[in-house]
Each structure stands twice: as C-alpha cells, then as structure tokens.
Structure 1
Amino acid sequence: MCGNAMSSHIDPVTVSATGKHTATVIFLHGLGDTGHGWSYALSEIKQPHIKYICPTAPKMPVTLNEGYEMTSWFDLFTLNVASRDDEDEAGIKKAAALVQGMVEEEVKGGIPADRIVLGGFSQGGALALYAAFTLDKQLAGMVALSSWLPLHESFPAAMMVNNQAPILQCHGDADPVVPYKFGQMTRSVLAKYCNNYTFKTYPGMMHSSSATEMQDVKEFLDKVLPPV
C-alpha cells in the first residue's frame, strides 16, 4: 500500500526565492492536509534568498480513521504511541526516503545540505524529524510543530549526523490531537542527544499554529539560514 502511494505523490507547492536562491526550507503538512496552506503561512514570513517547498502527501487508507482514505505520509494506528509495534515502521521509512530524496534534489541543484531546513506540522513534523535524523548529510536545522518523534526507540542508534543541527520544537499545551505530553516526551529524548535544541510551549494553543509561533519560526529560520 505505502509503496504504491508514495510513487504517486503530488508535485509540491513551491514558494520561489525572490532574490538569489541560497537556502531551502522543506515543510511537511499534517494528516489530511495539503501543501497549500503551509505554503501560504510560510510566504507570510519568507525571506528573499529562501525557497520554500511544501509537498502534499499521497492519499492512503488511515487505520486511525477507520480506513478512510486521506492525505497521509504514513499510516497511523493510534495516537497513543508507546512502542514501535504501534507504528507503521515500513511506511515511516519509505516516507523518510521520499523526503531525503527532496533534499538530494536541492543539493544536486546547487544548495548545500547545510543550507536546507526540514520542518513540518503534526504528522509532517514527525516525519521531518525522522528523515533528518536518518539522513547522512548535515542540515541547517529542523522545525517540528505540534509533533513527536516516531520510532523513538530506535534512537540514538539510528542517528546519523544531525544531532548537531539546531532544532526548534513547538507545542501548544491545550493540544487535544497530539497531546502536549507527546511533545514533552519527545523533548526528554531529544534533549539527551541533541546539542542545539529549543522547546517552546504556547499556553492555550490547541492543534494549530499562531502568530507568535510563526514569529518564533521566522526568527529560527533567520538565525540558521542567514543571507550569504
């Protein structure tokens, strides 16, 4: 199922650099969404030297939603993930390979890996973290919004080089979909193994973003992807 779906992924929405393109942000949406909404959000904080790529996940049946077909990076069995037995390990790894292929395309196009940020919201943020940590190239950084670290039991052994990269993780403390405790659990794992890690809490924010959070994302991107 996952292999066929991944081969038919939709072309990403791209917000092109308006100046000389020297950096790229690849940002992954959450379950059931598309790249369009996040391309708009990122265009609100864009910098002229950065290209923003917002791919749309393929449609697949999602076990969590009683097999209903929707855009999803991988299958979700439950939102109470306690172990790898509760996760679509094969699907996560195939999706990560897809994202890592996008990084490779940017590198082939002349943008060094250390001028690329991987980020995402919810399921997309989970995939961004996993793809970044299992990539063999040093990235500029990672952004995970309202998210978690999938296959967390495989770390730190599965980490390649990006435990050194700056990470911004953000979570609302009133999130009813990906509970705040999931963000805290991920923080407890990443803070042990990552040397440049920031966790931000947004009081009262549910499973969404906010102007304050997006300003924090902008400041992070400005810091890790400055003009050259």
Structure 2
Amino acid sequence: MSLRRIPLFLRPLAVAVVTIAAVSLFAAFLRRQSPPTLPPYGSISARSFVLWLHGLGDSGPANERIRTFFSSPEFNRTKWFFPSAPRSPVSCNDGAVMPSWFDIYEIPVAAESPKNENGVLKAVQMVHTIIDKEIAAGINAENIFVCGFSQGGALTLASVLLYPRTLGGGAVFSGWVPFNSSLIAQISPGAKKTPILWSHGMADKIVLFEAGQAGPSFLEQAGMRCEFKAYPNLGHSLEKKELKYLERWIKSRLKSSS
C-alpha cells in the first residue's frame, strides 16, 4: 500500500489498518497451532537463551506460542523471553500511540526509507541490558540468540551488530536495515562473527522485499555474511516452515556447555 496515493485525512486510518492487519495475520497464524503446554521461562540451569522481539503494534505475550515449534530436546534447557515494546507515538500513523520499539516514518518500508537512528540506538541499549543480564547469570554469550519479526527484526539486526561480543546468532524475519552505513564503523570484531539468518516474504507489502534484499549487501560492506532465505508468495507474516528452519539453525549453533 502506498500512502502517497491516499488522501491525507485517511492516512492515519490506512496505516492503522495495515498495522492491525499484519498483527492479525501473525496472531491467526499462532492460533492455528495446537494449544501449547509451556514450561516456565527456563531456570538457573538454562543452557541457552532466546530473545524474541515482536513487530509494530504487537506484544510479547501474543508471541509466546512460538516456543511450541522448538520441540527438539536441545531446547529443554532454553530460557525464552518475549518482552513488549513501550507504547509511543508512531509517525507513519500520524502520531497514534502503540507498542513500538522506535519511531517509523513511513509504511511501506523500502530500502531507502528514512532511518530513525537515535530511536534505534535507544532500543538497542534495552536489548543489550537483557543480554548482559543473561551472561551475568552464567549463560555463554554464544548460546544467546536474538530473533525478531518486522520492526523487531530490524531491532534484532541492530542489537547483534552493535553488541561488543560474539553471540550465538541473530534471526531477522521480514525486517530491514534500520541505520545508515556510517554505523558500520561501530561494529566490533566480535560482533562480525555473529551468524545472521534473514528470512523475507517475496510478496511482502509492508516491509518490501527490496528492503530485505538490502540486508546481505549491507552486511557485506561490514565484512559479514548472512544466510538469506526468500519465501515466494509470503506476505508480511510468518510461516511454520520459517520457524522450523530457525529451530534447526539455532540447534546447529548451540555450544556444548554454558
């Protein structure tokens, strides 16, 4: 949907519909799964940690069922955390207040969309605080995985690239690069070793596929590579096969001890 073709007085409604539609699709996808039996959020013996960052207008608790896709025994000692973004005004929705990790200036998000670097960096500090807490609790940094969808995917990328140590991995779903190439100089040698998985639907009309395709080239500039997976006919949503692949991807990178 191009907001430039919509009358000004209807743009707030249009963006709200887009946001609600994207969240509704994701929620419907999760509801289709069998009711889960979820253990507590790990324990003091947790071997690994997975942080999931939701998209614009969503919430952490609404995404908890994602855990049910990770049925391999390697995840029996995984601690999960699904935080919710603070509620704040969002420019692309004419200032409407909703859960948002940082401000977004336009929808659809394209490769050349304006970046809100200050807001992103503030959100990154929050993510880094969460990671630091888990490392202090005894979890190996290389057993920590940050994953996110849409706006949460963009924050995932920024968070793993700007963390001073090598993490287990960062998984971006339908996200984009939320800052300019000038920040490449801030990526530490340790962060450059963090594996990146990028999944994007080729029919995405909210975060355009071109925005996803810009990710590997950006990482190449930083001296990094990522595994990029394109999903034909997939819009701005998640598919079961994406999460099952993520399960295998994380499992193959888990270290033998914490």
TM-score (norm 1): 0.87
Q: Work out whether 1:43 is the aligned partner of 2:68.
A: yes
Q: Work out whether 1:207 is the aligned partner of 2:236.
A: yes
Structure 1 distance, partners of 2:42, 2:69, is: 13
- Alignment of structure 1 residues 126-141 onto 2, 5 Å: 126-141=154-169
**Contact 1:18-1:48 within 8 A present in 2 as well:** no
Q: Work out whether 1:178 is the aligned partner of 2:213.
A: no
1:42-83 deviation digits (Å, cap 9, x = unpaired): 233151021111110000010001111000000111224626
Structure 2 distance, partners of 1:42, 1:183, is: 25
Report the alpha carbon displacement of residue 196 of structure 1 after superposing the two structures with TM.
4.9
Paired position in structure 2 for 1:60: 88
Report the alpha carbon displacement of residue 19 of structure 1 after superposing the two structures with TM.
9.7
**Contact 2:141-2:166 within 8 A present in 1 as well:** yes
Change (3 A) 1:19 1:58: closer
1:98-143 deviation digits (Å, cap 9, x = unpaired): 0000001101111121211111011001011111111112111110
Structure 2 distance, partners of 1:192, 1:39, is: 35
- Alignment of structure 1 residues 47-126 onto 2, 5 Å: 47-78=75-106, 79-80=109-110, 82=112, 86-126=114-154
Report the alpha carbon displacement of residue 227 of structure 1 after superposing the two structures with TM.
5.3
Q: Work out whether 1:147 is the aligned partner of 2:179.
A: no
Letter in 1 for 2:62: G
* Aligned CA-pair RMSD: 2.0
Secondary structure at 2:88 match in 1: strand
Q: Work out whether 1:190 is the aligned partner of 2:219.
A: yes
TM-score (norm 2): 0.77
Letter in 2 for 1:25: V
Report the alpha carbon displacement of residue 95 of structure 1 after superposing the two structures with TM.
0.4
Change (3 A) 1:45 1:162: same
Change (3 A) 1:102 1:212: same
Letter in 1 for 2:179: L
Letter in 2 for 1:193: A
Highest RCO, 1 vs 2 (Cα 8 Å, sep ≥ 6): 2
Report the alpha carbon displacement of residue 168 of structure 1 after superposing the two structures with TM.
0.6
**Contact 1:26-1:53 within 8 A present in 2 as well:** yes
User: Any runs of at least 4 consecutive aligned residues in structure 1 with deviations exceeding 6 A, and if so which?
Assistant: none
**Contact 2:110-2:208 within 8 A present in 1 as well:** no
Structure 2 spans left out of the alignment, 5+ residues: 1-38
Structure 2 distance, partners of 1:195, 1:76, is: 26
Paired position in structure 2 for 1:222: 251
1:23 to 48, 56, 63: 48
Report the alpha carbon displacement of residue 41 of structure 1 after superposing the two structures with TM.
1.2
**Contact 1:165-1:196 within 8 A present in 2 as well:** no
Structure 2 distance, partners of 1:200, 1:29, is: 20
Deviates more, 1:65-74 or 1:191-200: 191-200
Larger radius of gyration: 2
Change (3 A) 1:195 1:135: same
Structure 2 distance, partners of 1:75, 1:45, is: 32
Letter in 2 for 1:22: R
Sequence identity percentage: 32
Structure 1 distance, partners of 2:221, 2:121, is: 23
Change (3 A) 1:56 1:205: same
Task: Give the number of the structure whose residues are more often strand, by fraction.
Answer: 1
Secondary structure at 1:156 match in 2: helix
Structure 1 distance, partners of 2:253, 2:62, is: 23
Structure 1 distance, partners of 2:255, 2:205, is: 35
